[in-house]
Structure 1
């Protein structure tokens, strides 16, 4: 097994972050301005637009200055896909029974691997990713032609032993795009860029130190590391230098069923949204990109029990040793079966009136809040469902509104919550 396989899933999530966003169609505006993370542009374009970067630098700490490194640089190489009719004439779109194809920039995963002995650094390793053209027949309807432009670059490794008795060293990895003669337009320059690039490093004979939580003796060393465009974190015994700042030892949520290309979103929301696409929209999704087509097929065929897993979990409540499960009839709010706590029977005094489950109230929110939605609730009537206390000893009253809204709230078990002084008891009601 390759040592980098252990972090492949999180590395792929970085590689395809923002690759194609909901609604996953090439025609949608958000999918016309793409690839914002980890992009290294050709040097000519960086002169045209100095806000773009053509190189990145990773600096990390090694506990020991004698080791063999395995370095892997991963990125996407863009390829332009044009649409041709049956006569191989370029057209704006191509229709089949299952998909609608539009011109689109796809991407191919590229990897640059190298090994180096720390005693042999500095080292400069050039690489070249060739271009090419491929044509794919789409049944008898037409063709898809994919064109890639060559990309060249370098990976530079240097090591600097650090002063002091600890035997630590600072490793620098500089990745640079030096592709010549690129386009002066961003869309064109992206076709010769290193897109979503990141760096994986394994070390034999020493260990990496965290820059986020270094040992006390290495705090000053960590503060002296200069990272540009990427930031390194620990990933098991490996180092992952990412264009998106992560915590040490990042991982994909075990509930996730596959990439949705937007790790800042929630899988459940995006999956449900994808299910709502119309048949015509789904045809375009299938024709936009093979990865989008696979996403759609996975979501459309997801069994209910897998969808239920996406609904949510509270990880910080989990323990290394799972406790004995409570009896089936033990309520969530009373795991110890403590009879002194009972939200459904407890009451709170409001204006001298005991308010509890079943009490009718008029809402007077906003006394201690600044929520603009409160104006829509002022004066509304509802029924108290429960009286609860938080860990700070504050009392909160759960209320279901009158009418259809309240019926929906009761069906889902999700209510509106108010402090006691935001309620006006309806004396004699309830």
Structure 2
């Protein structure tokens, strides 16, 4: 086990890695002089950028940035391929990526900060913060609720909410509740967060709260709960309470003009012959989606990972207590919970279900068994990913985290598998 170092200074030349930050954010991340200093084999670690470069040359991805840390030191931060293949613009270590659902852990963290302050309670019904949920019904038959969805249900995706029709290969068609979402334009970007929450509360739930794990708009609703409980817009809360204290200077819900040239672009996918549709991120949105929407860099996201690995602290900034981090990284799926038929098609061997050895905590999937999953890891590791190709995981037992930033592949699950294999294969 590596010794834990909670306060280390940035090494000389950190600006070249994209990790230099204002003085208040320093004292927390150090670049390892050699991979061997943190228990990683240099030659095996080199397989990772080589593999990504091969994927670029095979035209399967435009490019990527990968970051790996152990203990309190960064072992790798490498850029490969193109930020924009069409423009032949090279990928840079500070390239900006739409991280999609990797926004969810940030929103979940925001909620847990409010829980620690007594301004939010996990067992409270959602209707305490969004009154429209008091009248929500279940199914197209509009059955009454057996109990109201709670804040805990939002965090663990057991609220009964769903997404609209997800583009899952081989999917089993569109559920009637998803059709209702489409008719009601639940995803309309022209809404405010308050309008979205009221709109989705008028639609039926897919199942009774607590009975079904369904990947859903739950975290988007949670984002609105954070706004109500804190009295701040979600972007302002993030900046003041999370992004600013952690020194995540390039992470936001939109990209200002002076940074727009750093945005990574998806390419035409060779499998689907289409380009991944991305969100518009160069203008300030009306609705700050708690479940997606952030733009970030690998260098920024490792700061979030390091904070979680440190038990809620990064340098002088303590966002939550170590016991809150432990609670978030514990399996919260209720006994007997059911799963939709598209689960394995969407998440593969990293699906948060007993069949893969994973459960779900308060914002991310949590490993519960050594076996069953097709990829290496340890009981207690936790992760999440984004629909546009981004992925991260944190392994407390190995004091390890890894972040993969890429944009737009249709077969994104295979990159999550390969990253796991290659990173654990580099442990010495």
Give the shorter-chain TM-score range.
under 0.3
Give the strand-richer structure, 1 or 2: 1
Q: Larger C-alpha radius of gyration, 1 or 2?
A: 1
Give the helix-richer structure, 1 or 2: 2
Q: TM-score, normalised by structure 2?
A: 0.25
- Bigger RCO (CA 8 Å, 6+ sep): 2
